[in-house]
């Protein structure tokens, strides 16, 4: 009889596990939709990228979308690098938006938040993130 408490515990856990399995609803995943990029030249080398997407669960996803836009725009302008200045994230209903500003340059700028535009643009293409 010394095992009676353990057997009761295991029986309760088994019953709870079976009950939990019966109530599992199928998970439907909402696809991420990219709603476009705008580019606004603030100065010769300072560019603003407002972007919007829906279906994403994290602010990191919309910030990455803006980074991808910045990388592609940097290449289009004939530059190789960009330095992240700031990103503001917002949400309205199911849409996330980012308002990012980058400083583009031909050589690697000073700072800790720099990107190699070609490397980032290639990664964005592999991840199917649209760009400018």
pLDDT per residue over 43-100, tens digit each? 999 999 999 999 988 899 999 999 999 999 999 999 999 999 999 999 998 899 999 9
Kindly state whether residue 76 falls inside one of the protein's structural domains: yes
* pLDDT, mean of residues 113-121: 96
User: Which whole number is the average pLDDT over 96-120?
Assistant: 94
3 falls within a domain: no
Residue 15: inside a domain = no
Residue 22 within a domain? no
CB neighbour class for 17 (10 Å; exposed up to 12, middle 13-18, buried from 19): exposed
User: Is 62 inside any structural domain?
Assistant: yes
Tell me which residue range forms the domain holding 106.
33-126
Q: Is residue 19 domain-resident?
A: no
Number of folded domains that form the chain: 1
Task: Sort residue 22 into left (φ over 0), alpha (ψ -120 to 50) or beta.
Answer: alpha
Residues in the chain: 132
**13 found inside a domain:** no
Report if residue 10 sits inside a domain.
Answer: no
**Who wins on pLDDT, 38 or 7?**
38
Model confidence, pTM:
0.77
Kindly report, residue by residue over 10-51, the tens digit of the pLDDT.
Answer: 454 555 555 555 555 555 677 899 999 999 999 999 999 999
């Amino acid at each position: 009889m010394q095992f009676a408490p353990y057997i009761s515990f295991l029986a309760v856990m088994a019953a709870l596990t079976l009950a939990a399995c019966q109530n599992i609803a199928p998970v439907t995943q909402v696809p991420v939709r990219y709603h476009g990029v705008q580019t606004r030249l603030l100065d010769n080398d300072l560019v603003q990228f407002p972007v919007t997407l829906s279906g994403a669960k994290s602010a990191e996803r919309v910030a990455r979308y803006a980074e991808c836009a910045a990388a592609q725009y940097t290449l289009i302008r004939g530059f190789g690098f960009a330095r992240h200045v700031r990103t503001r994230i917002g949400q309205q209903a199911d849409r996330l938006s980012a308002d990012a500003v980058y400083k583009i340059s031909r050589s690697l700028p000073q700072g800790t938040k720099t990107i190699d535009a070609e490397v980032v643009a290639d990664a964005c293409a592999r991840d199917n993130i649209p760009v400018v």
